[in-house]
Every structure is written in C-alpha cells, then in structure tokens.
Structure 1
Amino acid sequence: MLIRAAVRLRYLLLFGLSLLPLVASAAGFAALEKMTERGFLISAEARLLGDAGRPGEVLGAIEPGRQLSPASVSKAYLAAAALDRWGPQHRFTTRLVSSAELDADGVLRGDLILDGGGDPALTTEDLWRLAQRLHQAGVREVEGRLVVSQWRFGPVACITTDRCAAESRAANSYSALLSSAGVNHGNWCVNVAPGASAGEPARVTSCDSQSLIVEIDNRMETRAAGTATEFSAERITREEDEVMLLRGHIALNAAPRDVYRASGDPARQTARTLAAMLEQAGIAIGAGYATTTEPPPASAHALATVEGRPLQELLLQVMNYSNNFMADVLALNLVDAPRATLLQAGEAIQDYVAGLPDHGPVVMLSGSGLTTENRTSASGANTLLESMFHRTSLFPSFVASFQSPANGVSRFIRRGSPLVQDRLMLKTGTLNQPYAVRAVSGYFRARSGRWGVFTVLVNGTASTPWLNWAQVLDPLAQDLERMIEAH
C-alpha cells in the first residue's frame, strides 16, 4: 500500500539513519539464494537459539542486515510490544456512562455516552451486552443524545492510499478507518439473499439488527435457479450518509451471504449500531446520536460495562488472520497521550525495539505493516523472536499467535514435507503495491529438539517479475528442511 507524501519526508529521515553495511552469505539458503539472480532483494537469516550453555549458531544468511519491507511481519513486532506493555490477560473495557440522573420512571435526564476504550475486537454482541446491562440497570429512555466518544484516538488521519480512499468509498473490508470506538473491525455488514422469485430484487438485510442501520442502494436482481451469481458491493458516502451500493444478480437457489465493507466513519457506525441495539432492548433515545473527540465529563458515572477478550486471544486474530484494523488499533493503544496518530503508534513500537540489544535499525510507520515504508532486517527480526523466546511468562502467548503450516488457517503456507510443516511456526507478510513483498518469520525445531528462528524478507523492484508465495516458500522449505535434518 502506498504511503502519503505528507509522511514520506519523515520516513526518509528515519531510513537514512538506518543504513548499515550489507554482508552477503548464502550459506544454508542454497535454494532461496537463486531468487537474487532474478533481481529480487533478499534479507534472510536462520539460526539456532542458545540454551544450556550452548551458544546460538547461524545456519544460513543472505545479507541479514539489509533493511527491507517486512509487510505484515510488522505485526510480530506489535505483538511483542503489546505483550510487553500489558501482559497476555489484559482486557480493554468499553463503558456506557452519564452525568445525568436516572429518575423513578427509568428516564435518564441527559446524554448517554459510550466511552470508547480502544478494544480492537469490539463487536455487535458486545454492544448488545451493553444495551442489556443498561436495561437491567433500570434505564428505559434517554432524554438526551447517544454520544460516542473517541477521545483516545479517532478519527485517525490516514497515511496510506487505500485508507484515504475509504473516507469516501470502499470496495473492500481491509481498508477500514480507525477509532478507539470502532465496532466490527470498522466494517458494515449486510446479508444478501435471493428474492422470492426470478426478476425480483435481491433481499438485503442488516447482519447486526432487525432493521437496516446503513442505507442500501439495491441494484441486484434475482435470476433463475442454477444461473451464476455475480455481484459487486461498494460502500459510498453521499452527503455524509453511508450507503451500501450493490449491483449484479443472484440465483434464486443461491445461499444467503454476508458482505463486509469498510465504514468511512467508524465512530458514527458504532453510534448507529448501538442505537439499533438500544431500540431492540426497549430503550428509547430522545435526541438522536452524535460523535465527539472529547472525553466524558469528570462527573460521569458508569451505567454499563463490557470487557473485551484477553490480549492473547486478540493476538490470535491479529496474527493468524493478519487483521489490519485490529493491529493498528492495538498499536494506537500503545500511545499514552490522547489523540494518537499512526506515526506515534509506530514510534511506540520503535521505542520497544530500542530496548532489544543488538537488534539494529527499525522503521515502523504503523503496526499493521500496510505500507512498504516499514523497514527491518532478517537479523533484527530474529533478534526480536529470540528475545521473546527467553521471556518465559510471555513466550507461550507470543508463539501461539504464529501459524503452523500443518494446521494453520492459511492454506498457502502448507509447503514442503511433513517434517517441515510439523516443525515450523510462522508469520507471513504480503504486499503487491508499489512493489511486491513476500516476508516470513518464525520459529523451527531441529531434529535434536533445539529451537531456531528464521526470517526471510523478499522485496521486488519496478523491474522484477511477478512474485507469488510458491516462489518463496518452496525453496525456503527445502533450505529449512536441510537445516532441521542436520541439527
């Protein structure tokens, strides 16, 4: 993903300070090294970890100190920094608060405020729990407004082209904008099903409520059973209202399907979704809804609270599914001051890395790795992995967030022999613009039972051919198998 020109100068200054002499040695990476002949830039290193008085040993390296884009391998840095800051059992809390009093008739004589706690996995179910707990507290009507407060961070200024474009329209789910009060990963969801008969419009309903909470522009037609289903979905903003525009056709016998598209205003999306939950719970809102970047008044008291899932569970989603919204929201939480920016979040990760001896330079402009301007080296990434290996209380949660090729959620990583697939835990990173990036980093177990770490960063250029995962993972699996067998 391309980075905006407004932050490019800062990146160049950081990266200019991070250049180190490059050392080339393909020992151990005989198969992978052939990619350099095609013009790809590679930084690779595999090494055993020291234990029981035995020092570690480098098994293979290709310019291990070279600074390249790690793409979503950046999320391993985020995971380590988050575990270091909060520990595996930390939970983010979302509250409904108010300064108003509740009268004997269940009327709250003022505003109801959702205090966005920065939970990166807040869902409609959590909002429903808040609505139920508010009802249990005796609230039946809110005389004032429903106000969603994103004072911790949000709306967060975009620094990449896809997120900037999503402010007005989005045809995907991964470019969601960021807020400390976002819900459902910053995505609207609608369910698309065939109409009652051929020729009728498709039936479009909300995934999250009995009534529609986002405007629908339905241009989909139901066609005869057995025909192909083809449609497109785009979230657009029209005069400040968000609209799901659907075009195409669906077969009469097609199964209903959920469609997710990034919201252009996640705090407002939360307000509309929560308003629908309150309505279903029998709680009326008298003066509509609003969003704010101001914190709740000091006099506000909690009326309902919901705690999110433990950090170790959040990291499974961040790492296994490479969830960009969750990653960047977690990174923004690392910033202590309110009104956090992505660049400050990146600096918080860099501050953590600065405490790792022998890591070397790193540039982080976000926690997700959505931009090619993030920079690290294979040697540096392995230093991060090794540091977490020696942190007994954190390592189980950290390594559990990596995928096993044998049974991970991503099928494309199932490369190599059963020996390799059973002995690796890894995180991958993929970018295609403005040039191709394929990155992989993780742990392996040698035949002897010793642990090792490996990182391979492959970056294309404007003149290199197309790069796919098979071109990287197949030779890497061959090289790692030799290393595992030899030790």
Structure 2
Amino acid sequence: MLYRPLSLCLLLLLPLTALGHGFTRLSSLADDGFVIGAEARLLGNGEPGETLGSLEPQRLLSPASVTKVYLAAAALDRLGPQHRFTTRLVSTAEPDDQGVLHGDLVLEGGGDPALTTEDLWRLVQRLHQAGVREVTGSLVVSQWRFGPVSCITTDRCEGERRVDNAYSALLSSAAVNYGNWCVTVAPARIPGDPAEVTSCDSQSRLPRIDNRVATRPDDSGTELTAERLTEDDGDVMRVGGQISTNAHPREVYRTSADPAAQAADILMAMLGQADIPVQGGQATSTTQPPASARRLAAVDSEPLQELLLRTLNYSNNFMADTLALDLAEVPRPSLSQAGDALEAFAGTIPGHGPATLESGSGLTPENRTSAAGVNALLEHMFRRPSLFPSFVAALQSPGNGVMRFIRRGSATFQHHVMLKTGTLNQPVTVRAVTGYFRTLSGRWGVFTVLVNGTGATPYLSWTTVLDRLSRDLDAMIQAH
C-alpha cells in the first residue's frame, strides 16, 4: 500500500507519449462534442512498433474518403500494379470488301475508371484501320459487367434528375469522362452578347445546352453557375452567369444521368465525324456480347498504379467506386456488394478488427472503421515490397500535394508526412486523415485520425483539424 502513491506520482510524471495519448492538441476537439478515434505508432522490424499517440483507436467511426486507401490496397492485392482495363469494339459481323459492317457495332465496357474521349477517338481510328466504313446495324453500348448501378447515396439519387456538381457521378462499366458532361464557356467579342458555350468533346452539341451566360466588358469578372437537368429527350446543361471579354475559356463539368447513354452519344458523334455512318441508331445494353463476337478495335487503360494515383490524389469518387465494382466477384454487382469485397480484404489483414464498407469512395455515410484498423492496413502494405511503392505513391505530401488545403503546418510536417484525407458534411461532419510519416532518425510510422461530429456539433474546418494534427505529429517526428 505504501508504494501505490509513489507509483501514481511517477506515472503522472511520464510524458504523454509514454502514456499513449500524444494527440494533446487534437483531443481538444472533444470539448466541442466531436467524437475522435486516433492512433500514431512507429513500425517495428517484425515486432509491434511503439505507440506514440492513442485516442480510442478501436472506436468505429466514419472514415469518409479515407475509405479509398482500402480500395487502393485491395485493388493492388487482387490485380497488381500493372493491370490494365480493356475497352473493345466488337461485332458478330465482319466488314465486306467495301467496308460495310452488316450488323451491330458493340462497345463492350471493360470497367475502365478513366476511359476518356481521347480513348474513344483512338477506338474510332482503329476501327477505321480495321476496314470499317459503314455500319448497317446499330451502335450498342454494352454495360454487362455493371450498370446502371442503383444509387444508394442522396447525392447520386438526386443526380438522376438534376445535379450541380461533378463528384456524384453515376456508375457504369461503359462510362466515359468519369461520368461527366463537359462544356466550354468562352466570351463573345462584344459585351452584352451571349457567351459561346460548346461541348468539350464533340462538334455536336452534346449535351443540349441552355446558354444563359452573358458577356461583360474587360475585367468585369467571371462567375458561372451550371446545372445538368434531365428531360424526356435527354440531358441538358443549363449554364448561367457572366464572363469577361478578356477572360480565358472555362470548362464546366456536371455528371450525366446515364453514363452508358452518354458514351453512346459521344461515340456516335465521333463515328459521324470519321465518316463512318451508323444506319440503325444507338442503344445501350446489359447483355454480354456473344462469344462469337469478333474484336474490331480495342484500347487499354493506364496501369492500375497510375489510376490509383489519380483516384487518391484527386479523391475521385467515380474512379474509386468503379474500381470497387471491378473487384466484386458476383455478376452485375451493386455498390454494396463491391463493398463486401473490400470488407473481405480487410478481414485478411492481421490485427485489423471489424469494418463496414458500403462503397470504395466513402460517399456512403454508413462506412465504419477504426484508427487502429486503418493503421493495420497501412502496416500491411508497408510490409509488401512489391506493392508498397505503388500504394504510397498515391498519397500526398502536404508540402507539394495537389490539394492546396493540406499545405499547412511546419516544414517537418509538410515534408515528413504522406497522407490521404476524407471529408463529409452530411449527415454529420467527418474530417479524417491517414498516412505515413518519417521521423528525423529515418524510422517509418503510421497514423490515422477519424473525427466525427453529431447533429449538435458546430462546423469544423480543415484548418482547425490540420493545424492541431500537424503540431501533434511534428512533436512525434521531432522526438524520434
């Protein structure tokens, strides 16, 4: 009994890192009602590393776009860094001596999350090289792998009729341009005239355009609004606001209501510009082309490691969820079934613990994981030398990352950390960060911070979170 007061005094004299707390500044967010799960630890040489910071690390919270590190790890594990997705033009017919294809021309979507207009142009060129000069049948876009995928988030469901953003794109294995329409807004020569609004992808007006943009005198400023509406005869881009006569053209992106139909529209316009008429019109299909279909042209995606860099650096929800659907092992999967594949992967990680993943993007607010679980994933990838370079390259350094809002904190934080952030504002606030750090002595560490609000918590800025986190991590990095 005499030793207990002395032991307690010695315990109180220990630094917070020894107690496993460490996040002294970040933890103050709890005073405003935010729920926090956090952990930072060094990576040992085959042994558990020293814990430098810990705040309820097993607590299950929403990770928002931190979910994308699960997607990246699972995709690298399943497919490998050099995997490419193939999009094909196929037909059961062959062109005759005059180049006439007596049958349907089918675009077989390969689940490429980064299929672009340039890829479609390449397909058309290769179709021409294959001798096709005319199609008597129809152009059919086949999304037999997946699509249209049922919406399970508010943003995507509302986007089936109208949308004012580019991040909530609907999903299809035959989508192009990340499921977005693009229009270019350029000033007219004379102030007061309507601006010039054209399609980014075609000489045709795809989609239909409702131009409400006025041209203003030099240096009047440019302020644009854009909304994609869906009417009975297809999508319409309604663009409003103003643009100065001396302004550069601006590109505006909004999600389409039917990605496969959008791909058909764009490809049909390109075939027309290449003087390859299609007599039977266009359609979409969920049926796999028959085994007898012959490949007329094909285009491959960039390697998976390049796709993941874009997916995580820009936190591209469309790419992440498309890749998750590519990983599902059931025919024509739903987004939830794609999440099952990610959960199964998480279950193979030593020491991970429970997780609920309903998507690969993190747009689904039902996703749940723990700071300790995410760190287990990061350590698992660190110990896989054939995959780790591709995995860590998809993260950002605060000092030179593409997202400007992370460029905060000391030089130590900016240049010794690589991270991925996650943000949600509805139904509750989520600010999440995960990644690797290097100490001053060159040791590797992992950290994850999950901050969730409630209906009663105030708005939480990234400045508040990153300023406190950077100071906590700075101390850990400096101390080792």
Q: TM-score range with shorter-chain normalisation? A: over 0.9
Distance in 2 separating the partners of 1:54 and 1:366: 32
Q: How many residues align?
A: 462
Deviates more, 1:229-238 or 1:104-113: 229-238
Query: What residue is the counterpart of 1:254 in the other structure?
Result: 247
- Structure 1 residues 90-169: aligned runs within 5 Å: 90-169=83-162
How big is each residue's C-alpha offset from its partner over 1:284-336, in whole Å with a ceiling of 9 and x where there is no partner? 11111100011112210100010000000000111000000000000000112
How big is each residue's C-alpha offset from its partner over 1:170-198, in whole Å with a ceiling of 9 and x where there is no partner? 11111110000000000000111112312
What amino acid maps onto 2:213 in structure 1?
M
Distance in 1 separating the partners of 2:405 and 2:368: 24
Contact 1:111 1:146 in 2 (8 A): yes
Matched, 1:42 2:36: yes
Query: What residue is the counterpart of 2:285 in the other structure?
Result: 292
How big is each residue's C-alpha offset from its partner over 1:355-397, in whole Å with a ceiling of 9 and x where there is no partner? 1121001000100001221000000000000000000100000
**Distance change >3 Å, CA 420–CA 226, structure 1 → 2:** closer
Distance in 2 separating the partners of 1:394 and 1:363: 24
| Runs of at least 5 residues in structure 2 that lack an aligned partner in the other structure | 1-18
Query: What residue is the counterpart of 2:383 in the other structure?
Result: 390
How big is each residue's C-alpha offset from its partner over 1:27-73, in whole Å with a ceiling of 9 and x where there is no partner? 2111111111111100000000011x654111110000000000000
Distance in 1 separating the partners of 2:207 and 2:178: 16
Q: SS at the partner of 1:429?
A: strand
Q: SS at the partner of 2:337?
A: helix
Q: CA deviation at 1:413?
A: 1.0
Identity %: 66
Question: TM-score, structure 2 length as denominator?
Answer: 0.95
Distance in 2 separating the partners of 1:55 and 1:311: 31
**Distance change >3 Å, CA 177–CA 55, structure 1 → 2:** closer
Q: CA deviation at 1:442?
A: 0.3
Query: Which among 427, 432, 455 is matched to residue 434 of structure 1?
Result: 427
Matched, 1:314 2:303: no
What amino acid maps onto 1:253 in structure 2?
N
| Runs of at least 5 residues in structure 1 that lack an aligned partner in the other structure | 1-24
What amino acid maps onto 1:29 in structure 2?
F
Distance in 2 separating the partners of 1:230 and 1:414: 26
Q: CA deviation at 1:213?
A: 2.1
Contact 2:437 2:445 in 1 (8 A): yes
Query: What residue is the counterpart of 1:33 in the other structure?
Result: 27
Distance in 1 separating the partners of 2:225 and 2:399: 34
Distance in 1 separating the partners of 2:140 and 2:58: 50
How big is each residue's C-alpha offset from its partner over 1:237-262, in whole Å with a ceiling of 9 and x where there is no partner? 11141111112222222211111000
Query: What residue is the counterpart of 1:460 in the other structure?
Result: 453
Distance in 1 separating the partners of 2:65 and 2:315: 7
Query: What residue is the counterpart of 1:367 in the other structure?
Result: 360
Q: CA deviation at 1:338?
A: 2.3
How big is each residue's C-alpha offset from its partner over 1:461-484, in whole Å with a ceiling of 9 and x where there is no partner? 111111011111111111111111
What amino acid maps onto 1:32 in structure 2?
L
Distance in 1 separating the partners of 2:269 and 2:177: 15
Query: Which among 80, 90, 102 is matched to residue 87 of structure 1?
Result: 80
Query: Which among 195, 206, 211 is matched to residue 213 of structure 1?
Result: 206
Question: TM-score, structure 1 length as denominator?
Answer: 0.93
Query: Which among 398, 414, 417 is matched to residue 410 of structure 2?
Result: 417
Query: Which among 355, 372, 375 is matched to residue 348 of structure 2?
Result: 355
Distance in 2 separating the partners of 1:404 and 1:216: 40
Query: What residue is the counterpart of 1:331 in the other structure?
Result: 324
What amino acid maps onto 2:145 in structure 1?
R
Distance in 2 separating the partners of 1:416 and 1:144: 61
Matched, 1:446 2:442: no
* Bigger radius of gyration among the two: 2
Query: What residue is the counterpart of 1:5 in the other structure?
Result: none
- Structure 1 residues 255-270: aligned runs within 5 Å: 255-270=248-263
What amino acid maps onto 1:473 in structure 2?
L
Distance in 2 separating the partners of 1:228 and 1:382: 46
Query: Which among 159, 166, 170 is matched to residue 163 of structure 2?
Result: 170
Q: SS at the partner of 1:74?
A: helix
Q: CA deviation at 1:26?
A: 6.2
Distance in 2 separating the partners of 1:102 and 1:230: 50
Query: Which among 405, 408, 414 is matched to residue 401 of structure 2?
Result: 408
RMSD (Å), alpha carbons: 1.1
Q: CA deviation at 1:221?
A: 2.0
Q: CA deviation at 1:414?
A: 1.6
Contact 1:26 1:33 in 2 (8 A): no
Query: Which among 42, 45, 56 is matched to residue 63 of structure 1?
Result: 56
